[in-house]
Amino acid sequence: MIYINKSVIDSKLVKMALSSNIDYKIVDDASEIVDKKSNIYLDDRKDNYIRICPGTKIYRCCSYHNIDIMQGCPFDCSYCILQAYLDHNMIKVSTDIDSIVEHIRSFQGNIRLGSGELSDSLALDNIIPFTKIIVPVVNELDNIQFEFKTKSSNISNLLNLNPKNIIVSFSLNPESIVSKYESKTASVESRINAAVELSKYGYKIGFHFDPVIYVDNYKELYTELIGILTSKISEESIEFISISTFRAPSALLDAIKLRDKYTDLLNSDMIKSPDGKYRYYKSLRVDMLRTVYDSLRLEWKDVFIYFCMEHNTVWESVIGYDPGDRDKFELLFNNSFLA
């Protein structure tokens, strides 16, 4: 159900959402709404919409920026950080489009920006069509590369837009892991098919093997998935691939246990890292990352592959070099699209 704060009923975004003849209810504030994932609340929340991705000096991070237009996600992944990060289950959407666009336009210098941190970028795009707002703005700017990151196959709006400076990225895991831990998301096959369709349309594609999750036969599962992926889409369409294993702050571990105290998501060798997050023990982690990296490299020799929030010693073990601090790391991304 969509709930609209009465103060934003005439906003552009609400009009776009209601053009799809969807049921809605006007409310005075969020307290009138049952706090669950299936409820979407639109209001004029003002915010500092764009933030640099949080990171630490201990683990290597790039200079990616997040734009938090939506807070909350209709999908229900067992490992999702939002369980610990947000204090609500409903999906809160800001209708403050003008400020969002102004923020995007105001950036000086080259920047990579994405909307997939506090929500799935495309899961609700058929209802709340942010792509129709963001893409034309980004098309005009030569210093912005915008990434829509998703576990959906909801790409129909994108197929009517200009792909210039837009990356559409898909999070991938073997289907058995998706079935077990990525509730309500699109199947891996449909995500890959969506990626193929978008690449044919002209979009650059990204893939995120994040989080890579430990199961006994992870080598077989990830190798098989990568075999399927690389047989369906050409390397030339791929802008980048990220890989990172499951990690969680203690608050997320608590949330995971709370939703399923018998979960086997945590039944592996995890240690507390210097940044306070729990990660797989290093030697296991390196083996998992190497499995995915080497399998990808067998087929795709040149595509840029990076690790998200990994220690420089892990980079050196698997890839053979240290990407350096934020600024140096950022230079590794292909910014040739930028002026």
Partner 1 sequence: MNSSLKWINGSTTLSPIKFIAKVDNSLYDLNHFSREDFNKEVLELDSLELALNLSISLYSPISSLELSTIAQIIHDNSLDYNKVDIFSLRDIKSDRNFNTILGINNFPESIRKYLTLKTLPLKSIELITTFSTSLQEFLNGFFISNISTSYQKAKIFIDNMAIHKESLEGVKYVDGFEFDDRKISSHIEIENSLIAINSKVFPILISTDDNFESGKLKFSFYVDKGNSYDKFIDILDKNDKDIRTLIEFLKGYDLGL
Stretch binding partner 1 (CB under 8 A), from 87-95, 145-153, 170-178, 284-292: 284-292
The answer to whether 168 and 158 are in contact (CB under 8 A) is yes
Q: What is the C-alpha separation between 250 and 239, in angstroms, rounded?
A: 33
- Binding marks (x or -) toward partner 1, 204..223, rule CB under 8 A? ---------------xx--x
Q: What is the C-alpha separation between 215 and 268, in angstroms, rounded?
A: 8
The candidate with the shortest Cα–Cα distance to 99, out of 67, 126, 135, is 67
Stretch binding partner 1 (CB under 8 A), from 116-124, 146-154, 186-194, 227-235: 227-235
Instruction: Give the Cβ contact number of residue 122 at 10 Å.
Output: 27
Nearer to partner 1, 220 or 254 (CB): 220
In angstroms, give the least distance from the CB of 55 to partner 1.
15
Show the beta-strand stretches assigned E in 37-110: 40-43, 50-52, 65-67, 70-71, 76-77, 91-94
| Residues 39-68 close enough to bind partner 1 by CB under 8 A | 58
Q: What is the C-alpha separation between 164 and 204, in angstroms, rounded?
A: 9
Asked if 290 is part of the footprint of partner 1 (rule: CB under 8 A), the reply reads yes
Q: Per-residue DSSP letters for 104-127? A: HHH--S-EEEES-SSS-SSTTTTT
Give the 3-state secondary structure of residue 161: coil
In angstroms, give the least distance from the CB of 321 to partner 1.
14
Stretch binding partner 1 (CB under 8 A), from 165-173, 175-183, 205-213, 265-273: 265-273
**Alpha carbon of residue 128 to chain centroid:** 17
# chain residues binding partner 1, by CB under 8 A: 32
Tokens matching residue 16: 């776009």
Asked if 302 is part of the footprint of partner 1 (rule: CB under 8 A), the reply reads no
Among positions 89, 162, 187, 230, the unique one binding partner 1 when judged by CB under 8 A: 230
In angstroms, give the least distance from the CB of 220 to partner 1.
6
Among positions 227, 234, 264, 328, the unique one binding partner 1 when judged by CB under 8 A: 227
Asked if 298 is part of the footprint of partner 1 (rule: CB under 8 A), the reply reads yes
Among positions 56, 294, 321, 328, the unique one binding partner 1 when judged by CB under 8 A: 294
Tokens matching residue 10: 């005439």
Q: Which residues bind partner 1 (CB under 8 A)?
A: 58, 219-220, 223-224, 227, 230-231, 269, 271-274, 279-287, 290, 294-295, 298-299, 311, 313-314, 316-317
